[in-house]
Amino acid sequence: MKRVKLVVAYDGTAYHGWQFQPGSRTIEGELNSALGALLQEEVQVIGASRTDSGVHALCNVAVFDTDTRIPADKISYALNQRLPEDIRIQSSEEVEGDFHPRHCNSRKTYEYRILNTRFPIPTKRLYAHFTYVPLDVQKMRQAAAYLTGEHDFKSFCASGAVVESTIRTIYELSVEKTGDEIVIRVCGSGFLYNMVRIIAGTLMEAGRGNISPENVKTILEAKNRQMAGPTAQACGLTLVKYDFLSQ
């Protein structure tokens, strides 16, 4: 047996997230099915990031075990012939048998895109959150500054999520505007369920003037989901970078 690592890009619009769900189209389900047909064996991929329904990725990582004689670096080419057009393998390679993408020291970077213009632009409707209310980018940056570093992000975790700890570290959090598009870029060691989308929703509340940037500190300290802003739409979120620092 050998372990193969895949780097997977996908448009999440048509899928109920990464994780396999009986009766629903998921990224994991499509990969398992295509790999099973290609290798003629039962395959269960292990994903690094279990993205939500409608969320996109440029570089999610998955591994699987196989006894195929197909060279690992050639699997990407063969697999792309069997996958739907909105899922594409960017690379495939053999890794150590104990490599597990969720047990490694890593950094994930997400981008959340906001279209802040008078009317929606149809070609961006699947990849950006639209709001016609003017957003003050400077206030959004001021609010974002309170979220960098290690904190208890319980206020930014979806209610009902079951986790051992809600403490996470954000290494970088920036807000940039180009034309009518605002991009929130966040890099961290890991994220709670809906955490990035709740951060985006909260920063937009600061940008609209509904909360002051200083309120973000109070929201963090409250450890109460009801204190933070709404969960922003899934379509604006993309996993753009995945760095493995050590195993």
Look at the block and give the residue holding tokens 């400077």.
138
3-class secondary structure for 23-82?
CCCCHHHHHHHHHHHHHCCCCCCEECCCCCCCCEEEEEEEEEEECCCCCHHHHHHHHHCC
Q: What tokens were used for 208?
A: 């609209």
DSSP 129-157: EE--S---HHHHHHHHHTTSEEEE-GGGS
Query: Annotated catalytic, 73?
Result: no
Of the candidates 11, 52, 136, 180, the residue annotated as catalytic is: 52
Closest listed residue to residue 183, CA positions, set 242, 119, 135: 135
Q: Which residues are catalytic?
A: 52
